[in-house]
């Protein structure tokens, strides 16, 4: 499957994980499973495999989703993660809103 992407072509990122931007350069890509919980799912999704450039950190994913980073619990492969933690291909990022109350 090939899809037109600007001047270049995007080949199926699930299989080849690269993009050709029409200028001869190829950017390595990685698949990250993003899981959203609670109110973060509203108008979005609960779990999705998304394609990002190499060296993407958690802050970039949060920005891409349009989620406010304030009061947000971040997990990488089930462990607490910082905003600047760089991800690897196949990682799972879980984002949960902090809740308070009793």
| Full pLDDT tens readout for the chain, 102 residues | 333 333 333 444 444 444 444 444 456 899 999 999 999 999 999 999 999 999 999 999 999 999 999 899 999 999 999 999 999 999 999 999 998 665
pTM for the model stands at 0.72
Q: For residue 42, list its beta bridge partners.
A: none
Angle value at C-alpha 77, between 74 and 78, nearest 5 degrees: 65
């Amino acid at each position: 499957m090939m899809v037109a992407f600007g001047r270049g072509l995007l080949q199926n990122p699930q299989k080849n994980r690269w993009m050709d931007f029409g200028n001869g350069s190829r950017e390595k890509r990685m698949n990250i499973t993003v899981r959203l919980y609670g109110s973060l799912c509203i108008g979005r999704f609960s779990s999705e495999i998304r394609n990002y450039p190499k060296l993407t950190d958690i802050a970039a994913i949060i920005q891409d989703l349009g989620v406010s980073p304030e009061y947000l619990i971040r997990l990488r492969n089930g462990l607490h993660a910082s905003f600047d933690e760089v991800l690897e291909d196949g990682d799972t990022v879980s984002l949960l809103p902090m809740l308070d109350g009793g």
